């Protein structure tokens, strides 16, 4: 697939939907980001996980490979990111999460769906679920200076994974009426995440554009290199390889800004990394995708 075709068919729809959220924010129309975030995390994400993982027909071995790949990508990104942050004389608690934790949800899931179909979506969910667990433990602990493992048990995503894996192991499907309801609710996830992404980008206040650009380039190019290396190391092919490379190459996650805001870690500068890396990804992602399609 040519790079222009990738831009139009895969990357374009993602940014067009996010643009709707951006324009909505700029128009001043009513939008409650906290409600949307709550709906996505407590309803949309759990339903999407159960719906896709129980219907994708993927073995637990394959899903386990993707989870392992995700852990290796994040471990490598944390190590490389720490060296970059220290080399530039900056604080790890401020910039390291933005370098290590990509936007594998808002952008990664729809990108995988458009590029690799339903199979890619299921694989991307396995990556995203693992990444979320790491971000809300390791990532939050870096920003906060301490870890709260008990918070994991309050994440609906954890229980959705338990249900999905249990059903997969037992070879069962939810009752038809339940399964169809879950499928409908799962449909909330992608559009709401993209609208929320656009709305959030319009709301962020940036600072120190030069430094943010350096970190943004490091996030995108470093993530791509790490994803490619991990996929090669694990011998992944086809959609599995593509999903790992693409998910690892995503721009900085918006949650990095939220953590910086919560713990007063120069949130305007972290916002700069989130915004600039997202804008640069419009041009970078078609190039990255062209290597795995």
Domain count, the chain: 1
How many of the other CB atoms lie within 10 Å of CB of 179? 15
> What b-and-e string marks burial along 239-277, b requiring 16 or more CB atoms within 10 Å of the CB?
bbbbbbbbbbbbbbbbbbbbbbbeeebbbebbbbbbbbb
190 pLDDT band (50/70/90 cuts)?
Answer: confident
**Mean pLDDT across 158-162:** 87
pLDDT at site 67: 95
DSSP 56: S
**Mean pLDDT across 5-30:** 88
Rounded Cα gap, residues 163 and 165, in angstroms: 6
pLDDT at site 135: 87
Q: What CATH number should be reported for the domain holding residue 166?
A: 1.20.1530.20
Tokens of 285: 């992602």
Residue 127 has pLDDT above 90, yes or no: yes
Residue 147 has pLDDT above 80, yes or no: no
Residue 178 has pLDDT above 80, yes or no: yes
Rounded Cα gap, residues 77 and 73, in angstroms: 6
Rounded Cα gap, residues 126 and 73, in angstroms: 14
152 pLDDT band (50/70/90 cuts)?
Answer: low
Give one DSSP letter per residue of 60-84, joined into a string: HHHHHHHHHHHHHHHHHHHHHHHHH
Residue 157 · residue 19 · CB < 8 Å = no
pLDDT at site 148: 65
pLDDT at site 262: 80
Rounded Cα gap, residues 99 and 182, in angstroms: 34
Angle at 218 between CA 132 and CA 33, to 5 degrees: 40
How many of the other CB atoms lie within 10 Å of CB of 178? 11
Prediction pTM value: 0.89
151 pLDDT band (50/70/90 cuts)?
Answer: low
Provide the greatest CA pair distance for the chain: 57
Average pLDDT along the chain: 90
| Domain of residue 61, residue span | 3-290
**Mean pLDDT across 150-162:** 80
> What b-and-e string marks burial along 199-228, b requiring 16 or more CB atoms within 10 Å of the CB?
bbbbebeeeeeebbbbbbebbbebbbbbbb
54 pLDDT band (50/70/90 cuts)?
Answer: confident
Residue 149 has pLDDT above 70, yes or no: no
Residue 146 has pLDDT above 70, yes or no: no
pLDDT digits (tens, 9 = 90+) for 199-214: 988 888 887 888 999 9
Give one DSSP letter per residue of 198-225, joined into a string: HHHHHH-----HHHHHHHHHHHHHHHHH
């Amino acid at each position: 697939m040519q790079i222009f075709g990738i831009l139009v068919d895969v990357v374009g729809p993602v940014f067009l939907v996010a643009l709707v959220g951006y324009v909505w924010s700029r128009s001043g129309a009513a939008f409650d980001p906290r409600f949307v975030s709550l709906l996505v995390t407590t309803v949309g994400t759990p339903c999407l996980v159960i719906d896709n993982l129980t219907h994708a027909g993927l073995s637990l071995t394959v899903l386990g490979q993707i989870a392992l790949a995700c852990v290796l990508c994040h471990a490598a990104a944390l190590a490389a990111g720490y060296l970059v942050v220290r080399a530039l004389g900056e604080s790890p608690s401020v910039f390291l999460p933005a370098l290590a934790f990509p936007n594998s949800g808002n952008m990664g899931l729809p990108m995988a769906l458009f590029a690799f179909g339903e199979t890619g979506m299921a694989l991307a969910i396995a990556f995203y679920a693992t990444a979320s667990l790491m971000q809300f433990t390791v990532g939050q602990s870096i920003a906060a200076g301490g870890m709260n493992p008990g918070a994991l048990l309050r994440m609906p995503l954890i229980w959705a994974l338990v249900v999905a894996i249990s059903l997969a192991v037992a070879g069962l499907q939810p009752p038809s009426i339940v399964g169809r309801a879950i499928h409908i609710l799962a449909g909330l996830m992608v559009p709401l995440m993209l609208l929320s992404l656009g709305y959030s980008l319009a709301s962020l206040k940036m600072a120190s554009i030069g430094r943010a650009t350096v970190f943004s380039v490091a996030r995108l190019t470093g993530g791509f290199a790490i994803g490619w290396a991990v996929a090669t190391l694990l011998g992944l092919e086809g959609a599995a390889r593509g999903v790992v490379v693409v998910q690892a190459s995503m721009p900085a996650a918006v949650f990095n800004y939220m953590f910086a805001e919560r713990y007063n870690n120069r949130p305007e500068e972290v916002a700069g990394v989130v915004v600039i890396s997202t804008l640069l990804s419009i041009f970078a992602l078609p190039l990255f995708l062209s290597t795995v399609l």
